[in-house]
Amino acid sequence: MHAKRVKCDPLSRAARAAAALPFFLVLAASALSQEKPDASGAKPAAAQPEYVGSETCQACHEDIFKAFQKNNRHAALETDKRRGWETKACEACHGPGAKHAETTEKSDIRNPAKARPGQAEKACLACHTNQPTQVGRVFNGHGRNQVGCSSCHKVHAAEVRTGPRAARLNAACSACHRAERASFVRPHGHAVNEGVVACVDCHNPHGTMLPKAISTAIGGEPGCLNCHSDKRGPFAYEHPPMRLQGCTACHEPHGSANPRMLTRPRVPQLCLECHANIALPNGGTRSGALGTTPPALHDLRTIRFQNCTICHQKIHGSHIDRRLLR
Ligand code: HEC
Ligand code: HEC
Ligand code: HEC
Ligand code: HEC
Ligand code: HEC
Ligand code: HEC
Ligand code: HEC
Ligand code: HEC
Ligand code: HEC
Ligand code: HEC
């Protein structure tokens, strides 16, 4: 897949021409010149003369036409009787093209590249909005930051499908997210740079209800569980941060300097961040569970007690032991 930076100039040509006008006029002008989402799903009445059909476009846009017919999934629109764009797939996205085909004027045809991403997107969403992967769209950083569909999707030629899937998809994300990509070089991390794990295994680029567009597994749980299903509850004895804070309370999935991608170099450091201060309810009966002075059970001065997960093996949750010991 081929990544493309968002167009920085969101103004349409007409709006730019009107740039000398007072602000509100510019607004009005740009509003007028903005393409209406014409692929609004509404089927064009057969009698409407503005549509000329893709064959006509072919005469002048041979390359695009050929690439499109050959491999693009949207070419299905060309032959599909149900959706109402039969023989006029080009105009499903570009709008009625009769006038443009006659004048060949740029201004007589809609070019999504020149519209604001948010506006251009509407044409795509006219058909795609009900797709399950798009339901989190309103929460999405991409949607909110004008990263339009064609930043990631090629619309005419086929999306490149050679090479390993993950490597291909990751390259597209990395074009913008250099820092995130770089973090995977750290010694303990998912095999993203090796092209095994894809960014989109953990993130839904179209957005989700979870923060940071984390992809979801069954039941809205974080997508981590798609691969790490043994960490899925419900556990009879759950370790509360699993549910309350999630995996990132203890792990850095983008790569970490620490073994097991932990947020801290050593396990006890991590545990004691939460457990050192756990208040003892009545100052007595359970006292010293994590104290430093004998006869406390956990004598943290001895090496034996520093490696918490030697004993608390079921750190993610246990089906049989309250203390997560087995
Ligand atoms: C008679 C020739 C001709 C036909 C037929 C034709 N075009 Fe064009 N088209 C052009 C020319 C010339 C340009 C301007 C190219 C340039 O100046 O770079 C253009 C530009 C475009 C642009 C870019 C507009 C812009 O703002 O940059 C789009 C999109 C487009 N055509 C789509 C279509 C579609 C869809 C059809 C069929 C409905 C079609 N064209 C039919 C000649 C044609
Ligand atoms: C699925 C929607 C869609 C369909 C179908 C579609 N286009 Fe486009 N077209 C776009 C988008 C989006 C852009 C802007 C691409 C960008 O942002 O780089 C574009 C840009 C263009 C351009 C101008 C930029 C360029 O690449 O030269 C032309 C010309 C064009 N399309 C012609 C066509 C023709 C001819 C067809 C039918 C064979 C067609 N399009 C079918 C969405 C579509
Ligand atoms: C008129 C309806 C319509 C419009 C408008 C439309 N699409 Fe599609 N899109 C389809 C259909 C139909 C398919 C094919 C679905 C299939 O193969 O099951 C498709 C497939 C896709 C796919 C999947 C390709 C794949 O290989 O899996 C992507 C990505 C996509 N469209 C993006 C876009 C983008 C981006 C736009 C706007 C520029 C857009 N679509 C506009 C109808 C539309
Ligand atoms: C054209 C540039 C661009 C591309 C390509 C891109 N992103 Fe983004 N991404 C952004 C911008 C801009 C933001 C918003 C940043 C912010 O809010 O600070 C963002 C935010 C995010 C976030 C934060 C979550 C959120 O909803 O705010 C995630 C996760 C993300 N992108 C993942 C991806 C993945 C995965 C890919 C590849 C499929 C990708 N991005 C491709 C520009 C891009
Ligand atoms: C940040 C990059 C990015 C943006 C922006 C983006 N997509 Fe996608 N999209 C992807 C990736 C990557 C996949 C493939 C996911 C996979 O293979 O797991 C995908 C898959 C798809 C699919 C096919 C699979 C499915 O069921 O979702 C469609 C259709 C689609 N996108 C449409 C759109 C539309 C429409 C928009 C704009 C509203 C859009 N995308 C915006 C990256 C993006
Ligand atoms: C193993 C799962 C996983 C993979 C693979 C992954 N991410 Fe993330 N990513 C996460 C999680 C979890 C968070 C949230 C971290 C947090 O809340 O502190 C996140 C956060 C982000 C953010 C938001 C960062 C911020 O500071 O707001 C961006 C952007 C992002 N990821 C992009 C990417 C990109 C690009 C890739 C591929 C190069 C990628 N991620 C691969 C799990 C993953
Ligand atoms: C696409 C599947 C996939 C997803 C999704 C995924 N992981 Fe992983 N994870 C793996 C694989 C494969 C390994 C083994 C890596 C290795 O040993 O090189 C792994 C290893 C780990 C490890 C242990 C590393 C070690 O050193 O033993 C942790 C911790 C981890 N993942 C946490 C997460 C978290 C947190 C998430 C969600 C944000 C997540 N994973 C999402 C596939 C995945
Ligand atoms: C309370 C902190 C904590 C939380 C929350 C947590 N982990 Fe862990 N995880 C650990 C510790 C500590 C280890 C290292 C265990 C050891 O020392 O062997 C570990 C190890 C792992 C490993 C590698 C060893 C194994 O058991 O397979 C994976 C994979 C893993 N965690 C995935 C996850 C996932 C996925 C989540 C979220 C669903 C998660 N963890 C939430 C603390 C946590
Ligand atoms: C993000 C905070 C957090 C981290 C990090 C954390 N825990 Fe916990 N843990 C809790 C909370 C909250 C409870 C519930 C305490 C309660 O019910 O009194 C708990 C409960 C436990 C229990 C069961 C206690 C009981 O009385 O049932 C054990 C054992 C435990 N944690 C061990 C660990 C170990 C070992 C680590 C390090 C690998 C760790 N925890 C890391 C927050 C944390
Ligand atoms: C040698 C084995 C062992 C090691 C190592 C160990 N624990 Fe424990 N831990 C236990 C046992 C056994 C209990 C149950 C005590 C009881 O039921 O009274 C326990 C209980 C706990 C409890 C529950 C205390 C309560 O008030 O109910 C917490 C929290 C805990 N351990 C955290 C830790 C942390 C953090 C570490 C690492 C610094 C650690 N443990 C290291 C054996 C160990």
Q: Say yes or no: 249 and 185 in one domain.
A: no
Q: Say yes or no: 31 and 136 in one domain.
A: yes
| Residues 169 and 181: beta-carbon distance below 8 Å | no
| Residues 117 and 10: beta-carbon distance below 8 Å | yes
Number of domains in the chain: 3
Q: Say yes or no: 243 and 199 in one domain.
A: no
94-105 pLDDT per residue, tens: 999 999 999 999
Q: Say yes or no: 178 and 251 in one domain.
A: no
Question: Which of the listed residues 106, 141, 176 is the one where a domain comes to its end?
Answer: 141
Ligand 10: residues with CB < 6 A are: 268, 271-272, 275, 286, 289-290, 297-298, 300, 304-308, 310-312, 323, 325
Q: Say yes or no: 66 and 125 in one domain.
A: yes
Token pair recorded at residue 309: 């997960």
- Based on its alpha-carbon atoms, the radius of gyration of the chain, rounded to whole angstroms, reads 28
Please give the model's pTM, rounded to 2 decimal places: 0.88
Ligand 7: residues with CB < 6 A are: 188, 190-191, 197, 201-202, 222-224, 226-228, 247, 251, 253, 259-261
Q: Which amino acid is at 83?
A: R
Q: What are phi and psi for residue 317, nearest 5 degrees?
A: 145, 150
**Is residue 303, in this structure, part of any structural domain at all?**
yes
Rounded distance from Cα 128 to ligand 4 centre (Å): 20
Q: What is the pLDDT of residue 30?
A: 38
Q: Which amino acid is at 197?
A: V
Q: How confident is the model at residue 70 (pLDDT cuts 50, 70, 90)?
A: confident
Token pair recorded at residue 210: 């979870």
- Rounded Cα distance, 262 and 267, in Å: 8
Q: Say yes or no: 195 and 240 in one domain.
A: no
260-307 pLDDT per residue, tens: 999 999 998 899 888 875 444 444 444 445 554 545 677 777 788 888
Nearest ligand to the C-alpha of residue 323? 9
Q: Say yes or no: 91 and 48 in one domain.
A: yes
Q: Say yes or no: 13 and 136 in one domain.
A: yes
**Is residue 285, in this structure, part of any structural domain at all?**
yes
- The domain in which residue 198 lies consists of 165-220
- Rounded Cα distance, 91 and 56, in Å: 11
Question: Which of the listed residues 141, 156, 190 is the one where a domain comes to its end?
Answer: 141
Q: Say yes or no: 251 and 285 in one domain.
A: yes
Higher local confidence (pLDDT), 133 or 33: 133
DSSP state string for 235-270: -SEE-THHHHT-GGGTB-TT-BSSGGGBSSSSHHHH
**Is residue 57, in this structure, part of any structural domain at all?**
yes
**Closest ligand 4 atom number to CA of residue 6:** 1
Q: Which amino acid is at 324?
A: L
- Rounded Cα distance, 214 and 208, in Å: 7
| Those residues with Cβ within 8 angstroms of residue 282's Cβ, 6 or more apart along the chain or in another chain | none
Q: Say yes or no: 88 and 171 in one domain.
A: no
Burial class (CB in 10 A: 0-12, 13-18, 19+), 161: exposed
**Is residue 80, in this structure, part of any structural domain at all?**
yes
Token pair recorded at residue 92: 């499903």
195-216 pLDDT per residue, tens: 999 999 999 999 998 889 999 8
